[in-house]
């Protein structure tokens, strides 16, 4: 997708990504830190995926969705960080217009799938705790595949909509992006044409992509909390809540950073805070997910031990 030339001004063909720091002396340090973060994130999420595949105890709907979430996290960090590392390595900060839009598309595609996978996981917990007698029929293999396919379809539509909409904007002057990857708020700031329609589109589609899943997650956990509180034994309540706490932690971090990033487009100047939020979205969240889901789950820990050592954990 190439920028369309206009008669009333030049059209830029590339952007300049300033990256995380503008001081060249700090680039080697940033390169090492983010290379380690990338390797840790990819290794952690692929370990979770391997654990889900090899451990029979984890062949359940919740871990089916978790395995898919791990794949999305690997994809999300791979869309942004490797290209940033290459630019640091070759001391080149430019990115072609088409590459910028491609990165934008895949980033929103993978993040959008994450939104709906987290919702599917909340629905799974609702059925498991509130509807245990019909759980196996309501969350069978066909339903699981339908939920994942629907997540991909909705995310694809969202990413394509924003990519096509941003391609209609005219970029004729400033081409410096104060960030380390291409995203909507930063591109809106550089447009020579009006972004009002694009911003309305972002809010409107964002309400469906984020507002609807958040409402469904909140409703699911309200029912879960009510059901758990009816459990008489303290041990039973503790076990039920522990199965949901990891998911709620991931949801809070994911939606908290996302809302801060995209629901404040009215600010006249984007600052280094946006880079910090970008690090959370692309690095911290994917890196924390394997830790959060395995920290309090002995089944996942045992499966990870089996994957890493090639033998079963000691009884």
Give the whole-number percent of the chain exceeding pLDDT 90. Answer: 44
Pick from 107, 120, 227: nearest CA to 156: 107
Span 31-65, pLDDT tens digits: 999 999 999 999 999 988 988 888 888 899 999 99
Cross-strand bridge partners of residue 16: 94, 176
Please, is 268 exposed, middle or buried when counting C-beta atoms within 10 Å of its C-beta (0-12, 13-18, 19+)?
exposed
The full length of the chain comes to 315
Confidence of residue 315 (pLDDT cuts 50, 70, 90): very low
Question: Do the beta carbons of residue 296 and residue 245 sit within 8 Å?
Answer: yes
Q: How far apart are CA 51 and CA 308, in angstroms?
A: 9
Higher pLDDT, 202 or 271: 202
Q: Flag the least confident range among 83-87, 138-142, 153-157, 306-310.
A: 306-310
Delineate the domains of the chain, giving CATH numbers in brackets: 16-309 (1.20.1070.10)
Q: What is the dihedral of CA 242, 246, 247, 249, to 10 degrees?
A: 120
Q: How far apart are CA 136 and CA 57, in angstroms?
A: 15
Confidence of residue 306 (pLDDT cuts 50, 70, 90): confident
Give the mean pLDDT of the chain.
86
Alpha helix stretches (DSSP H) within 131-271: 135-138, 141-167, 184-190, 196-206, 212-229, 234-262
Span 240-276, pLDDT tens digits: 777 688 888 888 888 888 777 776 655 545 566 778 8
Give the whole-number percent of the chain exceeding pLDDT 70. Answer: 90
Span 131-190, pLDDT tens digits: 989 999 999 999 999 999 999 999 999 999 999 999 999 998 789 998 899 998 889 989
Question: Do the beta carbons of residue 169 and residue 191 sit within 8 Å?
Answer: yes
């Amino acid at each position: 997708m190439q920028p369309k030339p206009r008669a009333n001004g030049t059209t830029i063909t590339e952007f300049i990504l300033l990256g995380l720091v503008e001081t060249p002396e700090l680039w080697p340090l940033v390169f090492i830190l983010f290379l380690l973060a990338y390797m840790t994130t990819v290794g952690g999420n692929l370990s979770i995926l391997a654990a889900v595949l090899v451990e029979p105890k984890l062949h359940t709907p919740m871990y089916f969705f978790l395995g898919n979430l791990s794949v999305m996290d690997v994809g999300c960090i791979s869309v942004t960080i490797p290209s940033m590392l290459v630019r640091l390595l070759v001391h080149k900060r430019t990115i072609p217009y088409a590459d910028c839009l491609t990165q934008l598309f895949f980033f929103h595609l993978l993040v959008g799938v994450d939104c709906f996978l987290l919702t599917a996981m909340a629905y799974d917990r609702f059925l498991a705790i509130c509807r245990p007698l019909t759980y196996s029929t309501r969350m069978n293999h066909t339903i699981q595949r339908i939920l994942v396919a629907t997540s991909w379809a909705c995310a694809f539509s969202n990413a394509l909509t924003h990519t096509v909409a941003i391609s209609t904007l005219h970029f004729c002057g400033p081409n410096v992006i104060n960030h380390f990857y291409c995203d909507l708020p930063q591109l809106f700031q550089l447009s020579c044409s009006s972004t009002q329609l694009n911003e309305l589109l972002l809010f409107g589609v964002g309400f469906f992509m984020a507002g609807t899943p958040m409402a469904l997650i909140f409703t699911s956990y309200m029912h879960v909390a009510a059901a758990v509180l009816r459990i008489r034994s303290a041990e039973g309540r503790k076990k039920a809540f522990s199965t949901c706490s990891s998911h709620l932690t991931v949801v809070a971090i994911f939606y908290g950073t996302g809302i801060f990033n995209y629901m404040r487009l009215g600010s006249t100047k984007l600052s280094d805070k946006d880079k910090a939020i970008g690090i959370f979205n692309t690095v911290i969240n994917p890196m924390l997910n394997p830790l959060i889901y395995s920290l309090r789950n002995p089944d996942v820990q045992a499966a990870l031990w089996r994957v890493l050592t090639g033998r079963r954990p000691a009884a």
